[in-house]
Homo-oligomer: A and B are copies of this chain.
Amino acid sequence: MISSDYTAALCARDSDAKILLLIIDGLGGLPHPSTGKSELETAHLPNLDELAASGSCGLISPLGPGHTPGSGPAHLALFGYDPWRTVVGRGALSALGLGVDFAPGDVAARVNFCTVDDGGRVTDRRAGRISTEKCAELCRRLESIDIPHVSVSVVPEMDYRAAAVFRGSGLGDEVGDSDPQTTGLAPLALQSRGADSERTKEAAESFLRQAAERLRGESPANMVIVRGFGSYPQIPQMEDVYGLKAAVVADYPMYRGVARAVGMEIVPTGSDLSSKLQALTDRWPHYDFFYVHVKKTDSAGEDGDFNGKVRLLEEVDAFVASLRDLGPDVLIVTGDHSTPSIMASHSWHPVPMVISSNWSLSTGVATEFSERGCLGGSIGQIPSSSLMALALAHARRLSKFGA
Evaluate contact between A402 and B347: CB separation under 8 angstroms. no
- Residue in chain B with minimal CB distance to A71: B403
Contacts of A382 in B (CB 8 A): 65
Query: A201 interface residue, CB < 8 Å from B?
Result: no
Contacts of A114 in B (CB 8 A): none
Partner of A73 from B361, B398, B401 at Cβ < 8 Å: B401
The segment from A82-90, A138-146, A209-217, A284-292 that touches chain B is A82-90
Contacts of A359 in B (CB 8 A): 30, 340, 343, 347, 349
Partner of A348 from B66, B74, B393 at Cβ < 8 Å: B393
Query: A69 interface residue, CB < 8 Å from B?
Result: yes
Contacts of A328 in B (CB 8 A): none
Contacts of A65 in B (CB 8 A): 379, 382, 386-387, 389-390, 393
Evaluate contact between A7 and B67: CB separation under 8 angstroms. yes
Which of A358-403 touch B at CB < 8 Å?
A: 359, 361, 363-365, 371-372, 375-376, 378-382, 386-393, 398-403
In the assembled complex, the Cα of A389 lies from the Cα of B347 at a distance in Å of 12
Query: A228 interface residue, CB < 8 Å from B?
Result: yes
CB-CB under 8 A for A392 and B66, given A30-B359, A363-B372: yes
Query: A8 interface residue, CB < 8 Å from B?
Result: yes
Query: A220 interface residue, CB < 8 Å from B?
Result: no
Query: A97 interface residue, CB < 8 Å from B?
Result: no
Interface centre among A8, A69, A359, A365 (most CB of B within 10 A): A359
- Residue in chain B with minimal CB distance to A388: B66
In the assembled complex, the Cα of A112 lies from the Cα of B311 at a distance in Å of 63
Contacts of A400 in B (CB 8 A): 68-70, 345-346
Contacts of A69 in B (CB 8 A): 400-402
Interface centre among A11, A31, A65 (most CB of B within 10 A): A65
Evaluate contact between B402 and A66: CB separation under 8 angstroms. no
Contacts of A402 in B (CB 8 A): 69-74, 83, 87, 90
Interface size on A, residues (CB 8 A): 60
In the assembled complex, the Cα of A348 lies from the Cα of B66 at a distance in Å of 24
Query: A4 interface residue, CB < 8 Å from B?
Result: yes
Evaluate contact between A64 and B386: CB separation under 8 angstroms. yes
- Residue in chain B with minimal CB distance to A110: B403
Evaluate contact between B398 and A348: CB separation under 8 angstroms. yes
Query: A63 interface residue, CB < 8 Å from B?
Result: yes
Counted per complex, copies of this chain come to 2
In the assembled complex, the Cα of A70 lies from the Cα of B372 at a distance in Å of 35
In the assembled complex, the Cα of A102 lies from the Cα of B53 at a distance in Å of 53
Within the complex, the shortest CB–CB distance from A295 to chain B, in Å, comes to 15
Contacts of A381 in B (CB 8 A): 380
Per-residue contact bits, chain A 1-16, to B (CB 8 Å; 1 contact, 0 not): 0001101100100000
In the assembled complex, the Cα of A400 lies from the Cα of B66 at a distance in Å of 10
- Residue in chain B with minimal CB distance to A91: B403
In the assembled complex, the Cα of A403 lies from the Cα of B64 at a distance in Å of 17
Contacts of A74 in B (CB 8 A): 402
Within the complex, the shortest CB–CB distance from A273 to chain B, in Å, comes to 26
Contacts of A347 in B (CB 8 A): 359, 393
Where the two chains meet, the residues of A that have a C-beta atom closer than 8 Å to any C-beta of B are: 4-5, 7-8, 11, 30-31, 59, 63-74, 83-84, 87, 90, 228, 340, 343, 345-349, 359, 361, 363-365, 371-372, 375-376, 378-382, 386-393, 398-403
Give 29 CB contacts A-B under 8 Å.
A4-B84, A5-B66, A59-B380, A64-B389, A65-B393, A66-B398, A67-B398, A68-B399, A69-B400, A70-B403, A71-B403, A72-B403, A73-B401, A83-B401, A83-B402, A340-B359, A343-B359, A345-B400, A346-B400, A347-B359, A348-B398, A349-B359, A349-B361, A361-B372, A363-B372, A364-B372, A371-B378, A375-B378, A380-B380
